[in-house]
Amino acid sequence: MRILLASGSPRRRELLAMLGVPFVVKPSEADETFPPGTPPRDAVVLLARRKAEAVWRTLDEAERRDAVVLAADTLVAIDQDALGKPRDADHALAMLRRLQGRTHAVYTGVCVRTAEAEEAAYAKTEVRMRRRDDAWLRAYVATGEPMDKAGAYAIQGYGSLLVEAIVGDYYNVVGLPLGLVDELFGRLGLSLFPTGPWQA
Ligand SMILES: Cc1cn([C@H]2C[C@H](O)[C@@H](COP(=O)(O)OP(=O)(O)OP(=O)(O)O)O2)c(=O)[nH]c1=O
């Protein structure tokens, strides 16, 4: 089998590479909008499915036979609102002001697609953030780190200094809940463990 990671996210690439799984990257061009009011847990699954579908459509018959397309989408949820990646520095600052000193949820939807079937699900992690003053948050935005991250922070970077506690899978916050990916692989008779058919 040939794993195709339908993602342009360097974090997702690094997490999958950490397990030593061979894969190729094929970023999807899928539209990342969803109907307003969609619960974040549904939105991330919808978007992960859409990203997997977009890459699937680019494959020819022969490629589809041994392809495993893996896609994911991450959103931060607070007060019934879903926060994606910030548009600009002001937007990032507004998101960070809203999150600081409070608990929010991070959802990542995952979709795994093969010629036989498609499996999709989401993971949820709660993150409690420290209170930081505006000067700190502005300095953080100035590092540029928040710009391509859902909720405008990276738990794996300087954003770690904002975190007080988490409940749930850390890798979900970074953008790819590896345990869930393996569970979905398992439903398709595949594995992320070195016994997987991808090894052949
Ligand atoms: C909350 C959080 C998000 N993120 C990142 C993971 C994702 O890359 C990004 C959420 O944006 P996504 O839209 O899920 O993904 P993407 O546009 O970066 O990549 P693609 O659609 O091609 O797969 O936020 C972190 O790296 N650290 C964090 O702590």
Q: Which atom of ligand 1 is nearest to the CA of 106?
A: 1
Q: Please give the distance, rounded to the nearest whole angstrom, from the Cα atom of residue 142 to the centre of ligand 1.
A: 19
Cβ atoms of 190 and 197 closer than 8 Å: yes
pLDDT for res 46 = 98
pLDDT 10s digits, 151-191: 999 999 999 999 999 999 999 999 999 999 999 999 999 99
**Residue 95 Cβ < 6 Å to ligand 1:** no
Determine how many CB atoms are found less than 10 A away from the CB of residue 1.
Answer: 18
Does position 196 have pLDDT exceeding 60, yes or no? no
Active centre residues (catalytic): 73
Measure the CA–CA gap between 127 and 118, rounded to whole angstroms: 30
Nearest CA to ligand 1 atom 21: 7
Q: Please give the distance, rounded to the nearest whole angstrom, from the Cα atom of residue 62 to the centre of ligand 1.
A: 31
**Residue 180 Cβ < 6 Å to ligand 1:** no
Determine how many CB atoms are found less than 10 A away from the CB of residue 82.
Answer: 21
Cβ atoms of 73 and 184 closer than 8 Å: no
Measure the CA–CA gap between 151 and 148, rounded to whole angstroms: 9
Task: Assign 3-class secondary structure to 130-151.
Answer: CCCCHHHHHHHHHCCHHHHCHH
Strands (E) located in the chain: 2-5, 24-25, 67-78, 81-83, 103-113, 118-129, 163-167
**Residue 174 Cβ < 6 Å to ligand 1:** yes
Indicate the pLDDT class of residue 200, thresholds 50, 70 and 90: very low
Residues in Cβ contact with 117 at an 8 Å cutoff, skipping those fewer than 6 apart: 187, 188
Cβ atoms of 49 and 88 closer than 8 Å: no
pLDDT 10s digits, 107-122: 999 999 999 999 999 9
What are the structural domains, with CATH classification, of the chain?
2-199 (3.90.950.10)
